[in-house]
Structure 1
């Protein structure tokens, strides 16, 4: 029986405890963003491409399943497990490294990674972006990228459910 090799994009998936050694190989300036990215849609991939354009490489941190549930997005969320969300995220050309966090915010990861650029979607004002104070204090930049498409995982699920 023929054995297939593991897809190369899975090499972009990095457990938090291995971040320090994996960050050494990433080009700077480093861009950081985070989110649930439960059901990837056009709004997500557009946002990620725009975010990646702000630096030489990009790290995306995903909320763990428990962290997503604490956000109150719904009893059945996330739809996709962390492992599945990480694999889909890692397959994108705009993403250089995927990791995750179990806390309610990615602040500890941001302190560890020390990105030069921090980005969130347009529903976040600059002063409310977690880690903005730390990134700005080191001379970095913080961006809130406006949404270009009226899409969301919640809207997708409502459509599927006929709500």
Structure 2
């Protein structure tokens, strides 16, 4: 999100190539706001044509630049700047003191609850048990199949 924030803050159109995490969402938002284009990483493997086309589109189509500059102006003209918001809430806390509504619930959780260990540990345990059962069944089936192939046919005695 940092590069998207920087580019929109400066009013620069983007070419997004999402690789992991939130980058796919960021690329979708860039396309939705019409401030840039998205190229899939698979397209880059196939050749450079998609990237060259995207660069030409961004350079030749002024709508991306106009939309990026408009979004930048909107960000800069935000009704309340982050510094003002920090000052407002600091003054609020100084005036009214401690308030339960401003206290984060997660601060009072114990370690097991905070890290969801009460869910993760049983899930890992079940996965290990399931893995053991599958291995056990595969061994039994493999043993049975191998015993069928390795068994010697009984000869008829006359």
* Bigger relative contact order, structure 1 or 2 (CA pairs below 8 A, ≥6 apart): 1
Q: Report if TM-score (shorter chain) is over 0.5.
A: no
Normalising by structure 1, report the TM-score.
0.24
Normalising by structure 2, report the TM-score.
0.24
Whichever structure has more helix as a proportion of its residues is 2
The higher radius of gyration belongs to: 2
